[in-house]
Amino acid sequence: MTTLTILFSVSLILVAFYDFKYMAVPLLLLIVTAVLSFLRLLFFNRTDKGLLYAGLNLTGCLAIVLLSILVLFLVKFKLFNPLNTLIGSGDLVFFPAVCFSFSPVNFILFFILSLAVILIFKPFLYRSKSHFPLAGGISVLMFVAILIGMLVHVNLYNDTYLLNLLYH
């Protein structure tokens, strides 16, 4: 395990702690987490490949957020600011850390599964009806994904393992 992975894991645990305890994560911690995630991306991949992954994942994440806002706009039939009502500003700052942590197929799979797990377990873990520490939940699941990836020797920056499972 590299020093970058250890530091990144510690930052994920801190994000989860602050988000679950205070419903607010210091901006500096979110930035450090994103930078560590980006450094890991460049360390484990060639620069051009890493930047391609980052661009694809950021584009996908942006599309998901914008489509969610569009759907909510169509349901409510009025303009509204989703920031700090439906999604926290810290969650948006945290999303690049998630985008930089996976290859595109792994990112899509992780993002969808993590949001599903959070929606399923929200009533059991958090009593508030309107808020949930999204960045904290995703950071816990990302920490678990990194741990599992290390234990079973799966590279989270390589899609061939998942693609081989689909085709064979």
Contact 90, 24 (CB under 8 A): yes
Share of the chain above pLDDT 70, in %: 89
Residue 36 — very low, low, confident or very high, per pLDDT cuts 50/70/90?
Answer: very high
The pLDDT value recorded for residue 85 is 66
As a whole number, the mean pLDDT across the chain is 87
The pLDDT value recorded for residue 126 is 64
**Residue 121 vs residue 138, higher pLDDT:** 138
Annotated domain spans of the chain: 3-167
The pLDDT value recorded for residue 90 is 84
Integer CA distances (angstroms), 37 to 72, 76, 127, in order: 30, 36, 31
